[in-house]
Structure 1
Amino acid sequence: MAGPLIDTHPAVAPRPGDVVLDKDSADSFLATGLGELLDERAVRCLIVTGFATEYCVDSTTAAHIRADDARTTNSAARS
């Protein structure tokens, strides 16, 4: 995965069969299909981590706590 603004380190690059979702919002569930994908796979627990805890991780977690999505757990460490 690469683009004009990003290069993904090979150690964390998607592998064949991995799901890759594009997002345009701080909320990772908003218009990405992530919620539907988790429902299809019957995922009941989700650990949300990220680089900018105070931005995307908080936005994703807060949006789904408000929506009463019980599977979302905020377990992020600041870098």
Structure 2
Amino acid sequence: MRIYTLLAIAAFSTVVAGCTQSGYGQPGMLNTQGGRAVTGAVIGAAAADAMDENALAGAAIGGLVGGASCGLPGLPACY
């Protein structure tokens, strides 16, 4: 059962990542701190719900991690 949960999270993350790309010269959703926080919150809530945990806590943790990822080396800079 656990492998299906992890596969579902991976598939959902891939779909969300595909929706956040911008091909028109504008900053994409993942190039701003707010966009990363929202994306992290969505993925955190989905992961927590899939593992039968508190979705609100998962969203809060995911949002914090996503928002804090702007300063990490190796990731694209935030605008």
Q: State if a TM-score over 0.5 links the two structures.
A: no
Tell me which protein shows more strand as a share of its residues. Answer: 1
Tell me which protein shows more helix as a share of its residues. Answer: 2
TM normalised by structure 2 equals 0.31
